[in-house]
Each structure stands twice: as structure tokens, then as C-alpha cells.
Amino acid sequence: MHEVFERRVREHPDRVALTEADGGSLTYGQLNAAANRLAHALNAHGVKPGDLVGLHLAHGASYVIALLAVLKAGAGYVPLEPGLPSARLTLMATEPDLAVILTTQPWTLTATPLLDPTSVAAHPDTNPVHPADPERVFYIPYTSGSTGQPKGTLVPHRAIPGFFTNVSYATWGSEAVTLLHSALSWDGNLVEILPPLLTGGRIIIHTGSNRDPLSVAETAQAHQVTHLFLPTVAFNTIITTNPHLLTNVRYLMFGGEAVTVRHVQTALTELPGTRLIHCYGPSECTVFATAHPVTHADLDRPTIPIGTPIGDRAVHLIDVETGQTVTEPGQAGEVCISGPSLAHGYLNRPTLTATAFRPYANGRLYRTGDLATYTPDGLLLFQRRTDTQHKIRGYRIELTEIENVLTTHPHITHAAVTTHPDPTGTLRLTAYLTTTEDLTAADIRTHLQPHLPDYMIPTTYLPIAQLPTTHNGKTDRAALPPPHTLTPLPTGQEAAEEETGPLHRTIAGIWREVLGVPAVGSADNFFTLGGHSLAAVRLLFLVRDRLKVELTLRDLYEADDFAAFVTRVGERLPAGTELTAESADER
């Protein structure tokens, strides 16, 4: 991949390669020189071809420079995204036996050697020479694991180009402008980095919060981004709130979880000059395996298709009982993928690798665990999972990993985690627990936070006397009572409704309605309680409707807790507004 980039550098060294949204720019020549200096520094530090390097860097030009430098040094990289739980980062830095970690921040989790990528000016800026090897590991992304620990996937160089080379769903080139905003621990960021740099385009680096979809859309509008990839929840939020922020986008790619037809219909109507592309693919097969340019005809289908295979990917539907290939429309089969996109397997997990990657014809195929059907016109329709894996906010989550961490709490004896739709229809995590002591939701979140990222921490905790089991003793998830029939554990925070004044009670009622929770504490955070961008849009609408107060998503993101949000609303409450106990309790 780095050799392709170097060809682009020779063709147009003075063309702008990347721009930080609130900062400066680097040309292809400048970016290449910076990456070369760091690559030589890595080699001088003892990094050899085939080694692995940790990238503990935030969004910015330094991350792109480091990624290129590692490849130029002949190594592969492991994203160690700042902000991930310490236990998770420790495992991710220890298991791959990293040669060095590139970071500008303090690092005390492991004894791995460190290198500051900003202190390499003395090294030459010439291209290092390391023979290319398509089987060499490009990077190792970590995803949720069913054993209770995240698993690393060994992705080789050969797996990379097929998701954007010789494809028909989108085209890249010198006019392409992408926005780097996705989490660096998620393979979505590869869509934002590699296609533009390898085809002569440009990257805009979003320096705001990637949790705020409207901020992302505003940056895309301000910098005339042409190619944008969004998780489905972010797509839904922008389309609901202000789709015209995306008017300049030519190719709008979205995916990661189930999409609603009504949001797609709105996007098709409001963005007639934009191609909407529904994308699908596990990280074991590198970014996208299938894609589908959406049309108005798709609105009459039961769900938006995930399309057809792209590039060098091949997709097969295999009957899970007979092992035979499915060809008939409407017949369900497991989505299996073959071709150069396949990873080598999972790091240090030979049994799991043998289960997921199976011999097939003259090569191998990867079993995704997703069930799909064909339409009469040959498109794939996603149906459901065959296991306990789910997608939350675009991230793959193994419910058993969460359960395993829950049961390490000294007062939790059994746990079962499920997904249920919140009032906006977005999936949320609910944990059923048997406990030996009285606990609060805050107690459990405190226990989980060092081990699990925020998107894997359940929203609701339901005490239950005994988990239902099947005849062979396994937890029977289908027999768990509906969440609304049980009383959740208390939040552990002072009840906001007990605050004096009807304003607190009114806003607490709105939060309960939007989040589907029985109570709200003054120190509770909207997102900790299960809020997300689409729920935030609904919250702000209800505040405007009932209190005549105009707020933005940024107001909500900047409010650390419920009390701070109430203060912000109170500061903007129209003069003379009277709230009575009756108005506070009207919902």
C-alpha cells in the first residue's frame, strides 16, 4: 500500500494530501517526507519487516503520518485508540508483542518501548526500501470476543485494495475529498484514509467530537467533502435533523447496523445529487464486502439490500444445516466470504480461527454468522445473526464478553445481556443479573468501565431471582421476561425529581420518556443512560416543544450531567415562563 502512495507522490508532490479542519495542510511531498523520517526512526529503533507497532495517537495528521511510516518501515500496526478502557488497551498492547508504541502521551500500561513521532527530524526523508510482501500483516484491529476478551484479526496487505479498487459503487481520484472522523479502533477509518491517498485525493481531518454527527456533517459541508462514510445511527440523525448539510457529498456510504426505510426515503428526496450506498462487511474481510447504491425502488422492499459483492470479494450463502450453497430467492443462508480480502485469522486463537475460516474450493472462506436471502433480482437482504453477536452504534459486540466481565463482580453470580429497542427504535443493551448484595447501576458501571468501551456498557440493569435455562443448562435468552416487567436497579444518584422546582421535574420527565428509564439522577449523563445522537434529537425537540427553549446537540454534549443540562435550559427559559406541578407531571 505504501508503494502505491509513493507513486502518487512522484506524480503530484505539490498537491494537498490532507488538511486538518482547524489547522494547516500537508502536500503529498510533505506527507511522504514526514512519514519517511518516522519510518527511518522506527528502523533505527530496531523495528524490522514483519514487526508490529502500536499507534497510541489521536485523530490528526500525526496519525496518518504514523500509519504510513509503519508500513514504510516494513511493519504492521495495532490501533491503540486513546480513551479505550485501560484493561482493553493493556491486552491490545501485550498480546501482539509490539516492538514499539508511537505516542505523544504518557504510557504506563505496559513496559513496551516508546517513540515520540514528533522527535524524528534528524532522520532522512528518503523512501525506505523494504520489499513488498502481500501476505505481511498490514494491521490488527481488535473487536469484541465471545470468550470474554477482545480478539485481534491479522489483516494482510493483499486484503486492502479490493474494497475501493475496480468497484462500481463509487469512484475515487484527484477530485475525491474524504473526512477522517471515524473511531481509529474501527475499520471504517480505512475508507477515509486509504482511497484518497492511493488515488490522488485529499483527506479532511475532523478535529471535533465524532460522537456529534451534526458536527461531522458541518465539517463535511465547510470543506466540500465528496465521499463520506457514516454509521447508520449518525446517518439517521443527520437525515432527521438537517440533511442539507450533506448536499455537497457525492457518495454517501452508510452501514454498520439495520437501517430504516423512512430515513433512506428522506435522504433520497432531500439529496437528489448524492448517491446513497448501503455497505456491509466484517473486519475479517476488510471494510466492505458488499455494497448497494440505493434507489427509490428499494423503498418497497422489506429492508434496504446490502447489495452484491464488490472488487475482489466473493460472497456465498451457505445453508447452516446442510452446508449446501443457497441460490433460491427467499431461502436463508449464512453469508460466507472468500477471496483475497480474508484475514489470516485471529491472533493466538487457532481454535477460533479454524471455526471461522474454513477450507473452500481452492482457498478459504470466512463464516460471518449473518443470515441473508437473495431477492429475485440477485441482491442480498440481511436477515439476522445466528449467534449472540450484535451491532451497537456500528460496533460489533459479543454479548458473552459483557456477561463474562459482569460476573467478575464479587456480588454478581449470573448475568445475561440482551438487546432491546429504545423509544427511537435503536438497539440498547440490557443486563439481567442475579446478585448476592444490593447494587446500584452506578456500582456496576464503575466495575465495567476499566474493561469495556462505553458502547459495550449496558444501559439498564434488571435484578432477577434466577435466569431461565434450556434443557441442557444454558441461559434461555428467549425466556427472559420483557424489560418493562422488571424493576431496574436504582441509578445510585440523587433523584433529580426530588430537586425543588417544577423545571427539574419537567426535564427529568422528558429524559425518562426519551431514554425509557424509570428515574434520572442529578449526576447522570445522557449518554451513560443509553442516549445516542438520534435520541438526542428527540430530546431537543421535546424541550423546544414543551419549554420553548432552543438548544443544539452541542449543548447536550457539553453538559456533563443532568444538573448541568437543567442549568443550561434554565438560562434560556423565556422570561415569565411559569411551570406548575401539573405542567411538570403532564407526561
The burial of 506, by beta-carbon neighbours within 10 Å (0-12 exposed, 13-18 middle, 19 or more buried), is given as buried
The burial of 312, by beta-carbon neighbours within 10 Å (0-12 exposed, 13-18 middle, 19 or more buried), is given as middle
Sorting pLDDT into bands at 50, 70 and 90, what band is 372?
very high
pLDDT (average), residues 352-374: 92
Beta bridge partners of 204: 19, 179
Q: Please say whether the dihedral angle defined by the alpha carbons of residues 417, 421, 423 and 426, taken in this order, is positive or negative.
A: positive
Sorting pLDDT into bands at 50, 70 and 90, what band is 388?
low
What are the tens digits of pLDDT across the range 163-205? Answer: 999 999 999 999 999 999 998 888 889 999 999 999 999 999 9
Q: What is the pLDDT of residue 586?
A: 45
Beta bridge partners of 335: 317
Lowest average pLDDT, out of 109-123, 185-199, 558-572, goes to 558-572
Any idea how long the chain is? Answer: 587
Q: b/e for 237-272, b at 16 or more Cβ within 10 A?
A: bbbbbebebbebbbbbbbbbbebbeebbeebbeebe
Nearest alpha-carbon partner for 136 in 153, 154, 151: 154
Which H helix or E strand runs over 369? strand 363-374
Give the list of residues 6+ apart from residue 359 with CB closer than 8 angstroms, or none. none
Give the list of residues 6+ apart from residue 47 with CB closer than 8 angstroms, or none. 53, 73, 74, 75, 99, 100
DSSP state of 487: P
What are the tens digits of pLDDT across the range 233-247? Answer: 889 889 988 999 999
Nearest alpha-carbon partner for 513 in 412, 424, 404, 421: 424
What are the tens digits of pLDDT across the range 47-58? Answer: 999 999 999 999
Which domains, from first to last, does the chain contain? Answer: 402-485 (3.30.300.30), 496-584 (1.10.1200.10)
**What is the chain's mean pLDDT, rounded?**
89
Q: What is the pLDDT of residue 587?
A: 43
- Read off the C-alpha cell for 82: 486513546
Residue 381 CA from chain centroid, whole number: 22
Backbone angles phi, psi at 236, to 5 degrees: -60, -40
What are the tens digits of pLDDT across the range 324-340? Answer: 888 888 889 999 999 99
How many other CB atoms are there within 10 angstroms of residue 416's CB atom? Answer: 23
Q: What is the pLDDT of residue 147?
A: 65
Sorting pLDDT into bands at 50, 70 and 90, what band is 153?
very high
The burial of 344, by beta-carbon neighbours within 10 Å (0-12 exposed, 13-18 middle, 19 or more buried), is given as middle
- Read off the C-alpha cell for 236: 439517521
Q: Whose grid coordinates read 418497497?
A: 300
What are the tens digits of pLDDT across the range 389-439? Answer: 677 776 778 888 888 889 889 999 888 998 888 777 778 899 999 888 888
Sorting pLDDT into bands at 50, 70 and 90, what band is 42?
very high
Q: Is 580's pLDDT higher than 60? A: no
The burial of 375, by beta-carbon neighbours within 10 Å (0-12 exposed, 13-18 middle, 19 or more buried), is given as middle
Q: Is 250's pLDDT higher than 90? A: yes
Beta bridge partners of 418: 430
Q: What share of the chain is helix, strand, coil (3-state, %, to 5)?
A: 35, 25, 45
Q: Whose grid coordinates read 428522506?
A: 266
Q: Is 15's pLDDT higher than 60? A: yes
Give the list of residues 6+ apart from residue 204 with CB closer than 8 angstroms, or none. 18, 19, 21, 177, 178, 179, 180, 219, 220, 223, 225
Q: What is the pLDDT of residue 519?
A: 78
Q: Do β-strands 227-231 and 251-255 pair in parallel, antiparallel, or remain unpaired? A: parallel
Give the list of residues 6+ apart from residue 69 with CB closer than 8 angstroms, or none. 34, 35, 36, 37, 38, 39, 41, 42, 117
- Read off the C-alpha cell for 100: 514499539
Contact (CB, 8 A) for 41 and 65: no
Q: Is 376's pLDDT higher than 80? A: yes
Q: b/e for 278-300, b at 16 or more Cβ within 10 A?
A: bbbbbbbbbbbbbbbbbeeebee
Contact (CB, 8 A) for 85 and 454: no
pLDDT (average), residues 499-522: 82
Residue 480 amino acid letter:
L
Dihedral of CA atoms 315, 319, 321, 322 in degrees, nearest 10, equals -100
Sorting pLDDT into bands at 50, 70 and 90, what band is 532?
confident
pLDDT (average), residues 6-20: 96
% pLDDT > 70, the chain = 94
Sorting pLDDT into bands at 50, 70 and 90, what band is 582?
very low
More confident residue, 22 or 67: 67
The burial of 123, by beta-carbon neighbours within 10 Å (0-12 exposed, 13-18 middle, 19 or more buried), is given as middle
Lowest average pLDDT, out of 72-81, 253-262, 276-285, goes to 253-262
Backbone angles phi, psi at 516, to 5 degrees: 70, 35
What are the tens digits of pLDDT across the range 123-133? Answer: 999 999 988 89
Q: What is the pLDDT of residue 173?
A: 95
Q: What is the pLDDT of residue 545?
A: 87
